Amino acid sequence: MKTLLIVWHSRTGGAQQMAAAAAKAATEVSVRLLPAAQAGPADVLAADGYLFAAPENLASLSGPMKDFFDRCYYPALDRLAGRPYALMVCAGSDGAGVVRQVSRIATGWRLRAIAPPLIVCTQAQTPEAIAAAKIIAPDDMARCTDLGAAFAAGLAAGIF
């Protein structure tokens, strides 16, 4: 059975819910759902495909998610060529910075995007809204579910 590694980080719960929705729907593969702080190069090398889920903080990947890539980038370089990946971003109102950053990392790793980046905007912009626990809306959760199911189906069928 193929393995889908889902690496996530979340400060206020949004990206965590998105990752969990995708993981639950990925029934046709073995899913490893790991917080960024617990994921390392061995997990990356052992997987057949990757789903990254993170918030945008200051127009960049959140710190722990960036740290995951920093720790794994060189140990995995030249060892992942052609493997499939997808990206989910939980942003207040943008998300483009994370998309740019991860697509550059993925290019370096020679990963193949199997879907456009999935961005969910929670509209958090005031200090209070930023600090509040997030609840991802049902239609956005459905987009995450669809991505997880499609990724798993394609991976299991050998399409990706």
Ligand X SMILES: Cc1cc2nc3c(=O)[nH]c(=O)nc-3n(C[C@H](O)[C@H](O)[C@H](O)COP(=O)(O)O)c2cc1C
Residues lying near ligand X in the complex (CB under 6 A) = 10-15, 55-59, 90-95, 122, 124, 130, 134
CB of 61 to ligand X, least distance (A): 10
Contact status, residue 75 vs residue 41, Cβ threshold 8 Å:
yes
Separation between Cα atoms, residue 71 and residue 134, nearest integer Å = 28
Nearer to ligand X, 83 or 143 (CB): 143
Q: Which of 88, 108, 86 is nearest to 98 (CA)?
A: 88
Nearer to ligand X, 70 or 94 (CB): 94
CB of 140 to ligand X, least distance (A): 11
Nearer to ligand X, 68 or 109 (CB): 68
Nearer to ligand X, 89 or 156 (CB): 89
CB of 95 to ligand X, least distance (A): 6
Indicate the residue type of 106: A
Contact status, residue 39 vs residue 72, Cβ threshold 8 Å:
yes
Structural tokens at position 87: 């990206």
CB of 120 to ligand X, least distance (A): 8
Separation between Cα atoms, residue 136 and residue 12, nearest integer Å = 11
